């Protein structure tokens, strides 16, 4: 102690004294506009189908998807990422339902566009895994491996039918080499220069995708380690980032979010395009399961995970809690 005051002289706790003080000096702010809602729409169902591993999330009918889109707009959510779930009988080796203009994803895009217009950024998953009978993200060669270049041809077709359906943003998520450039060329060829590309730049081969397999009715046998990234690698993500930007990506994404915050931060520091992160099904399921057990405070955990993703550098967060969180933010509840 000295004659001029008590030790310590620096007291950071002064800025934590009240909720109002903490709110005023908060470095990271979560807003409804930061959020994007992933949504599943299933062909041939008359009622929403609950996803057992993701409590509160459903496979929508076309009608309930429309309602979910309206609810998202009203809550201030910025976008919706659509995933189509075709009837099993329509799956084949080439995933032809994914390029059928009347396929479930294409009609869902049209439905949402008719319902909310440009009030919500309509995004679409551009990948074959939902539509192939083998469950992989591309077509297979004679040895049963995913054929990168043949798959790119299918992605080009998918991009065009999704753009024709009225989508604002396509999200090529298969982790094929060259996918962004091929999709950009395919869109520009048909005069869809305004359709943006959200590149799944760093999509890791993760255990946390488990519940998503149920959500999309996946037929996958084996794994996707030959095309999704190894969780051990970070420099590889930066190489993927450079390639995606060179090929014309408008936005880039890291997926999953929570286990890869270091990758997210590195990507966010390196680019001048918007950065997204996808809080995936397993991240959602863990919080919901622990909360159901009474082991954690559900709402606090949700906001803490999302704030951490935002703090790491994501300007946009895809999360299954998007509408709920946006509503609570608007009501001042957090």
The DSSP bridge pattern shows strands 35-42 and 79-85 to be: parallel
Asked about 203 being catalytic, the answer comes back as: yes
Q: Give the Cα separation of 49 and 40 in Å (integer).
A: 10
Asked about 91 being catalytic, the answer comes back as: no
Give residue 195's region: left, alpha or beta (phi > 0; psi -120 to 50). Answer: beta
Q: Give the Cα separation of 15 and 24 in Å (integer).
A: 9
Three-state SS at 84: strand
Task: Single out the catalytic residue among 67, 192, 255, 293.
Answer: 255
Q: Which of 204, 184, 179 is nearest to 194 (CA)?
A: 184
Three-state SS at 151: helix
Q: Which residue has the tokens 């077509």?
A: 139
| H or E element in which residue 32 lies | none
Task: Single out the catalytic residue among 90, 203, 225, 300.
Answer: 203
Q: How far does CA 316 lie from the centroid of its chain?
A: 9
What residues are annotated to the active site? 203, 255
């Amino acid at each position: 102690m000295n004659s001029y005051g008590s030790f310590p002289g620096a007291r950071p706790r002064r800025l934590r004294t009240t909720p109002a003080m903490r709110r005023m000096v908060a470095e990271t702010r979560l807003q409804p506009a930061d959020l994007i809602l992933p949504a599943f729409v299933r062909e041939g169902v008359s009622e929403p189908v609950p996803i057992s591993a993701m409590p509160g999330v459903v496979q929508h009918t076309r009608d309930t998807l429309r309602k979910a889109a309206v609810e998202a707009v009203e809550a201030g959510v910025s976008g919706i990422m659509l995933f189509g779930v075709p009837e099993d009988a329509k799956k084949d080796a080439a995933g032809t339902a994914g390029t059928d203009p009347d396929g479930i994803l294409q009609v869902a895009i049209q439905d949402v566009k008719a319902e909310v217009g440009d009030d919500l950024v309509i995004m679409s998953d551009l990948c074959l895994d939902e539509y192939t009978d083998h469950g992989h993200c591309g077509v297979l060669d004679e040895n049963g491996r995913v054929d990168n270049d043949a798959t790119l041809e299918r992605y080009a077709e998918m991009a065009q039918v999704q753009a024709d359906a009225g989508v604002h943003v396509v999200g090529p998520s298969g982790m094929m080499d060259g996918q962004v450039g091929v999709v950009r060329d395919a869109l520009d060829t048909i005069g869809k220069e305004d359709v943006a590309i959200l590149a799944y730049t760093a999509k890791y081969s993760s255990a946390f995708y488990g519940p998503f397999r149920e959500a999309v009715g996946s037929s996958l046998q084996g794994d996707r380690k030959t095309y999704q990234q190894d969780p051990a690698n970070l420099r590889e993500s930066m190489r993927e980032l450079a390639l995606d930007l060179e090929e014309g990506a408008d936005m880039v994404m890291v997926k999953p979010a929570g286990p890869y915050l270091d990758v997210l931060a590195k990507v966010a520091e390196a680019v001048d395009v918007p950065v997204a992160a996808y809080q995936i099904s397993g991240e959602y399921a863990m919080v919901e399961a622990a909360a159901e057990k009474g082991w954690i405070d559900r709402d606090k955990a949700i906001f803490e995970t999302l704030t951490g993703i935002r703090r790491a550098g994501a300007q946009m967060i895809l999360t299954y809690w998007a509408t709920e969180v946006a509503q609570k933010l608007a009501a001042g509840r957090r």
